[in-house]
Amino acid sequence: MTDAASDHLPHTDSPHTVSGPIGHNEPRARARRTVAGKGRYVDDIVLPRMLHVAFLRSPHAHAAILSIDAAEAREAPGIVAVVTGKDMATQCTPYAGSHQLFKRLKAPDQYPLAVDRVLWQGEPVVAVVATSRALAEDAAELVDVDYDILPAVTSFERGTPPAVQLHDDIPDNIALVEQLGTATVGEDFPGADQVFEAQFRFGRITGTTLEPRGIIADYEPREGALTVHCSHQCPHQQQDIFARHLGLPEHKVRVLCPDVGGAFGLKQQLYGDEFAVCALSIMLGRPVKFIADRLESMVSDNHARDHAATARIAVKSDGTIVGMEVDDIFGIGPYSQYPRSSVGEGNHVLRITGAPYRLDDYRARLTMVYQNKSMIGHYRSVGHPVACAITEGLVDLAADGLGLDPADIRRRNFVRSSDCPRVSPGGIDMPDMSLETCFDAVVAAMDLPALRAEQAEMRKKGVYRGIGIAAFVELTASGPEYYGPGGNRITSQEGCHLKLEPSGVVRCWISVTDQGQGTDTGIGQVVASHLGVAMADVRVFSGDSETTPYGGGAWASRGIAIGGEAALRAATALKANILELAAVVLQADAGTLDIVGGRVVDRDTGTERMPLSDVARIGYFRQDTLPPGVQPELSVVRHYVTPRGRKFMATNGVHAAHVEVDTQTGIVRCLGHWVAHDAGVVVNPSLVEEQIRGGVVQGIGSALFEELRYDDDGQMLSGSLADYLVPMASEMPEITVLHVEGTGVEEELGAKGVGEAGVAGSPAAIMNAVNDAIAGAGLGQRIHTLPLSPERILGALGKVPGEL
Amino acid sequence: MKAYPFDYIRAESVDDVLSALDRYGTEARIIAGGQSLMPMLNFRLARPEVLIDINRLAELSGIEDRGDHIRVGALTRHVDVARSPIIARHVPVVAEAMTHVAHPAVRNRGTLGGSLCLADPAAELPACMVALGADLVVAGNNGRRTVPADAFFMGMFETAVDDGEMLIEVLLPKSGPGTRSAMDEVARRHGDYAIVGAAAVAEMDGPAFRDLRLVYFGVEDKPILARETAAALIGQSWSPALAEDLKSTLAQDLSPNDDSQASSAMRLHLADVLARRLLPRLADPDGPHPSRTENESVSR
Amino acid sequence: MSDRSYSVSMTVNGEVVNANVSARTNLVDFLRQDLELTGSHVGCEHGVCGACTVRVDGRIMRGCLLLAVQADGQSVETIEGMAGDPLMTSLQDVFVEENALQCGFCTPAMLLTAHEFISRVVETGAYRPDRDAIRDTISGNYCRCTGYQSIVQAVERVLIQYETAPTKAPNGAPNPGSDR
């Protein structure tokens, strides 16, 4: 294993120097357990007298519920309860995915189960609780729901009055229209020599976590306490929701998120079926388990993307980009997701499009529409891949139109480090950018001139290869400025609780959560480094709303960027407390002491004075030897909230894709992929690299394979993994990840978020590479519709008819 | 999801199976490898009253060289077909097809007979049977009968196996000195069912086609023998000029399905592409085959 | 509708297990729910994702595409039962070192697939697989977290280790080379 820490490309001189495990490829404690099959996922948990629920889901995309007859089901073997939406609605208060920064957003109330109308195929209608899942499914078949089928809204065409209305008070089915920029969409671009326009289409996709959603709710009636085990990213958020909407005191709601088998933003919201499980446990006074099966995952997990955008780029003849415009229609399904609202993805498209470039004339419009399809929610890299593909598709279009090299036009228009601090026209604060450094790193790693030469040679032989480049600006580590004024009860702080145990080892509880990213390990590295102890002497716990400090969990790439800073502060504070106590014992000045390798040493000479075990022993067991008034504090909690006014920690990166298009079959082969990414200080290179690679693969999935297709009646056509094509190892390329350590971070740790980077740029890079192979060789038109299926590619090549 | 309840019978002999079929009629389903039936059961799309498990029928397993043909028992696992030196030597088209079939864990359990009886229109093995002109042996209470592959596959998930019958074995003609075969397919991902695929077995007179069985799968509801296309090629040596006419004869042979996976036009296009890739391989197995190139129809 | 039970006897991770199972219970549900062997995971129940892969009579198979009643009289091994196997131990160690897993949900099955692959290569010694061959082999196992590259890297490392030291061939490895 190479220690990639040595391969870092400094963007500027790094001010961050700390000894200890930061920067090393520390292995993950959790991984040692999970390779042995000792993972503990929700479905692995069995509680005494636990019941199982199966949901009867709507077979129709849009229908009125006329009646529900559950008499026969209630008599079926093993059945404990059959609960309809009307029954369920009495158990909780409704919820709406509003956001006060977008006051015009129309967000109708939702209930856990459909009450009198179903708005998508797969919406839960009736909960059937039994002693086993199989028996619950048997009985669910006996429930007779009488539907009046209504026409479904499945497409979004601007300006055409909808034939059907989803919500009573929203006659046009439009959830929100939002505009920003220096001019109105459609206006001329002053100062431009040429304007290029393209239509972009992004298919519906979904995170497809390998572990399906799952929850066990365990209500103890005598205590009035609800304990929930769920596969979720945000335990404190769920604690707040369950308490408020079920009318429970918050300190009697505990949410545990054990090992989570993939989340990717999909496990970040409230789902009606999961909420219903909590209510069922309260109703029945017994533990109730729900594990989504794959068929219901496909229709009930939040989907993402589903955008249709018209976009323009305005350039001067010399290749200077002067302006950009995006007009995005975003289908969000039947409701706005709760508690974060569904604005996030559209808002990101609005704000990040064009961001890597030094343009000032920018206009953007977002139209969010309700549809009779599954809910749209947050999925990894929310909005970034859409904004990046639009931006980079336009840049390639302009390069082609002006006869410029796609690399050259980018290099000359990037926001440079010297342009920063800058606020982009979309409102992104850029304290510093390292796009040029990232770009140069990618170009060098892939040897772009050599690949171009090879491409030209291969073309002569009738082999069509393409190179696609995509730069992106990435919003990580969300601060309090989005959900705070939005009125959404989503905390942006993270916390860390450290306790020195009597033997001198350290327990660490954190509010950020770990779904496999290695957050626990990264935090451990921060604590070990800043406290001065060995990794082996720090044990990290997360995913429990009762025992960890209050915090956000996992969202928007915050684990190390924010959680790490909280850990750094906790470690620094604990270190000060330890040294203060040691100073008393040693009758020394605390300022002359340090902790290195688990020992108190003289700061200047490094001479050992006493091991931490001795400090702890005295602090816990020999207080009698301490002078009066000395209070050992060997446990500390620290929290961290990002600087006021900073909405995000903006960073950036560059992707390049190398592909070969079989122009006869439309099959794309990925030959190589490169990513240079600015994560600031990299705490654990191997964790960052494979997380980025995983993101690249998800992005390639959305670019080439994954698409949730519906028919005109709103019936999903890709409802299983046989139809919804997730990337497999065979089709994926080797992916080179390059670290660029940029600045512009106020935090002492100096780490930026990394979770979005892989997904953010890979679809755009693949799209541009395919277009380079096809249109670049003069064989066909450019395609801006994802995924780039064989049929769409053959269509672009004029070999089969069909819409692009 | 969990399967709908059913009863289970473990058969110990072919007679066991036949008597159970006789007793339960259409309420019974035979399970071999189960790699396609089990998802149907798990999703409650198949609801037999009784499942007849034939996995212990050793007599249905194995690959045997019987002189002029190879006998493969219906219960022979994909993995064993794929790794068989007998198959590789005498029925190379099947060996080639196996490289496209699913993934290790599925190949370890799935069976040849199961694939053939499922008769998925996009599956490789039924098309290979038709291209080879294989004979399929079916047993029923009235004894055994041999069904030529041409007549075995009747439609989507539909075969000539009647109620009360089961597939016993497959008899594959051995490759002769002039026999050449090849198969190829277009699939989104390795191991997936094909969008379109083709298997071809030819008897060659030097460079000329003496006989050709070019069979498409994934195009219609069952494997389709491209008779007109083959007829146009018989007696001819492969040349790029022949490629020019393929699409028009293929259009006579094929009425491709139009569905969410691919349009009819796309399937016809891919059928043409596959023919252009396979036929030169038959004509000159040692020659260079720039299969991914745009100008393959121009020159080699 | 009949949901009667069938008595089965099988060897699971070397121990004889006698149980009554409903015919409709698939093998992975039986292992997880009845035997509390939760190292095998359920990801799709239609044989696509590969997370439920277990070994039956020495060959890897989809635990969701087998009925528990079908395993009567057979030997079933799960990740838990492979704990003492030297090749599996190497794979597990190298997977951790290479960070070849994130959430870990796919990992036990991925390890069983890699184990069978390397066992066969060592057994047959017939060819030296490249990374593409590793990718083909593990393509029946979805991973949504990694970019597959660290998994390929880990499998390749262990493969090279075993290829260059064939005396270390795993004990009790299956004999997938036999042509029945």
Tell me the pLDDT tens digit for each residue of B17-74. Answer: 999 999 999 999 999 999 999 999 999 999 999 999 999 999 999 999 999 999 999 9
Which of residues 261 through 300 in chain B touch C, CB cutoff 8 A? none
By the CB < 8 Å criterion, does A138 face chain B? yes
Sheet architecture: strand order including A649-661: A9-10, A735-741, A668-678, A649-661, A464-476
Question: What pairs with residue B159 in β-bridges?
Answer: B153
**pLDDT at position C126, please?**
64
Q: Which of A539, A529, A517, A803 is nearest to A688 (CA)?
A: A517
Confidence of residue A3 (pLDDT cuts 50, 70, 90): very low
As a whole number of angstroms, the distance between CA A593 and CA A598 comes to 13
With H, G, I as helix, E, B as strand and everything else as coil, classify residue A564: helix
Residue C62's Cα: distance from chain center in Å?
A: 9
A594 touches chain B (CB under 8 A): no
DSSP state of B96: H
Which range among A3-17, A247-261, A287-301 shows the weakest confidence by mean pLDDT? Answer: A3-17
Q: Which of C101, C135, C151 sits opposite A34 (nearest CB)?
A: C101
State the Cα–Cα distance between residues A650 and A662, nearest whole angstrom.
38
Q: Which of C25, C44, C147 sits opposite A690 (nearest CB)?
A: C147
Mutation for B interface: A702, A728, A800, A803, most B CBs within 10 A:
A800
| Segment A448-458, tens digit of pLDDT | 999 999 999 99
Yes or no: say if A714 and A373 are a contact pair by the CB < 8 Å rule: yes
With 90 as the cut, is the pLDDT of residue B214 above it? yes
A535's enclosing H/E stretch is none
The CA distance from A794 to the nearest CA of chain B, in Å, is 8
Beta bridge partners of A305: A204
Tell me how far CA of residue A121 lies from CA of A212, A710, B264, C45, in angstroms.
18, 10, 28, 21
- Mean pLDDT over residues A164-190, rounded? 94
> What is the pLDDT confidence band of residue A369, given thresholds at 50, 70 and 90?
very high
Task: Report, in this order, helix, strand and coil percent for chain A, each rounded to 5.
Answer: 30, 25, 45
pLDDT category at C165 given cuts 50, 70, 90 is low
User: Tell me, what's the pLDDT at B299?
Assistant: 28
- Cα dist from A207 to A8, A474, A537, whole Å: 31, 19, 36
Nearest Cα of chain A lies from the Cα of C60 at a distance, in angstroms, of 16
Our CA-based measurement puts residue C157 at a distance from the nearest CA of chain A, in whole angstroms, of 10
Chain B contact residues (CB < 8 Å to A): 1-5, 39, 43-44, 186, 188-192, 195, 260, 262-263, 265-266, 269-270, 273, 276, 290, 292-296
Q: What is the pLDDT of residue B297?
A: 34
> Does the beta carbon of B62 lie under 8 angstroms from any beta carbon of chain C?
yes
Tokens of C174: 């299956």
**CB within 8 Å: B5 and C65:** no
Q: Cβ neighbours of residue A326 under 8 Å, at least 6 residues apart?
A: A309, A310, A311, A349, A350, A353, A354, A363, A364, A365, A387, A390
Total beta-carbon pairs less than 8 A apart between chain A and chain B: 78
User: How many whole angstroms separate alpha carbon C39 and alpha carbon C32?
Assistant: 8
Give the position of tokens 């997380």: A691
CB nearest to A210's CB, from C43, C79, C149 = C43
A505, pLDDT greater than 50:
yes
| Mean pLDDT, rounded, for A321-345 | 97
Using CB atoms, which chains have 3+ pairs under 8 A with B? Answer: A, C
| B73 contact C CB<8A | no
Per the CB < 8 Å rule, is C79 touching A722?
A: no
Q: Does B188 touch chain C (CB under 8 A)?
A: no
Q: Do C104 and A39 touch (CB under 8 A)?
A: yes
Interface test with A, best of B294, B297, B298 (most A CBs within 10 A): B294
A133 has a chain B CB within 8 A of its CB: yes
Q: Which two tokens stand for residue A121?
A: 């195929």
CA proximity to A563, closest of A534, A619, A506, A525:
A525
| A contact test, residue of C5, C30, C148, C160 with most A CBs within 10 A | C148
A150 phi-psi bin (left φ>0, alpha ψ -120 to 50, beta other): beta
- Interface residues of chain C, partner chain B, Cβ below 8 Å: 1-4, 6, 22-24, 26, 29, 45-47, 50, 53, 56, 59-62, 64-67, 69-70, 72, 113, 116-117, 136-137, 139-141, 176-177, 179-180
Q: Which residues of chain B make contact with A663, given a CB cutoff of 8 A?
A: 294
Q: Mean pLDDT check: name the lowest of A6-20, A115-129, A403-417, A752-766.
A: A6-20
Give pLDDT, residue A19.
75
pLDDT tens for each residue of B248-267: 999 999 999 999 889 999 99
Q: Is there a contact between C101 and A208 if contact means CB atoms under 8 Å apart?
A: no
CB contact under 8 A, B105 and C4: no
Out of A462, A727, A794, whose CB is closest to B293? A462
Q: Across the interface, do B292 and A662 touch by the CB < 8 Å criterion?
A: yes
Q: Which residues contact C118 (CB under 8 A, 6 or more apart)?
A: C87, C91, C155, C158, C159, C162, C170
| Probe site for chain C from B103, B111, B120 (most C CB atoms < 10 A) | B103
Closest of A361, A369, A315, A329 to residue A199, by C-alpha:
A329
CA distance A140 to chain C (A): 15
Q: pLDDT category, A34, cuts 50, 70, 90?
A: very high
Structure confidence at residue C179 (pLDDT): 31
Q: Please determine, for residue A2, whether its predicted confidence score (pLDDT) is greater than 80.
A: no
State the pLDDT at residue C1: 56
Q: Which tokens hold the place of A450?
A: 């050599």
Indicate the burial class of A400 (C-beta count within 10 angstroms; 0-12, 13-18, 19 or more): middle
Say which residue, C114 or A645, is predicted with more confidence.
Answer: C114
How far is A170 from chain C, CA to nearest CA, in Å?
37
Q: Which residues of A touch C76 (CB under 8 A)?
A: none
Type of residue numbered A26 = E
Return mean pLDDT, chain A. Answer: 96
Q: Six-digit token pair at B166? A: 């089961």
Q: What is the pLDDT of residues C63-79, one digit of tens each?
A: 999 999 999 999 999 99
The fraction of chain C above a pLDDT of 90, given in percent, is: 81
- pLDDT (0 to 100) of residue B289: 52
Which pLDDT score is estimated for B16?
Answer: 96
Tokens of A332: 């969000």
CB C70 within 8 A of CB A237: no
Are residues C138 and A690, on separate chains, in Cβ contact within 8 Å? no
Residue A803: band (very low, low, confident or very high) from pLDDT cuts 50, 70, 90: low
Query: What percentage of residues in chain B have a pLDDT greater than 90?
Result: 90
Q: Average the pLDDT over A222-237 and give the result.
A: 98
| Residue contact C180–B43, C-beta within 8 A | no
For A695-706, the pLDDT digits (tens) are 999 999 999 999
Query: B34 and chain C: CB distance < 8 Å anywhere?
Result: yes
Interface test with A, best of C65, C80, C145, C153 (most A CBs within 10 A): C145
Contact A791 B273 (CB under 8 A): no
When CB atoms are compared, the residue of C42, C106, C132 closest to A43 is C42
| A467–chain C nearest CA distance, Å | 20
Would you state the pLDDT for residue A6?
39
* pLDDT given for residue A159 in this prediction: 58
Question: Which chain A residues touch B44 with a CB distance below 8 Å?
Answer: 137, 141
The answer on pLDDT for C146 being more than 70 is yes
Does A96 have pLDDT greater than 80?
yes
CA A344/CA A488 separation, integer angstroms: 12
Q: CA geometry: angle at B238 spanning B236 and B244, to 5°?
A: 100
* Calpha distance B256→B222 (Å, rounded): 11
Contact B3/C at CB under 8 A: yes
Q: What is the pLDDT of residues A280-314, one digit of tens each?
A: 999 999 999 999 999 999 999 999 999 999 999 99
- Answer for the pair B123, B78: CB distance below 8 angstroms, yes or no: no
Tokens of B218: 């994934």
What residue of B is the nearest CA neighbor of C139? B103
A158 band by pLDDT with thresholds 50, 70 and 90? low
Q: If you write DSSP's letter for every residue of A659-704 in order, what string do you get? A: EEE-TTT--EEEEEEEEEEE-BS-S-HHHHHHHHHHHHHHHHIIII
Residues on chain B touching A709 (C-beta within 8 angstroms): 260
Task: Using a cut of 0.85, tell me whether the model's pTM lies above it.
Answer: yes
pLDDT for res B293 = 40
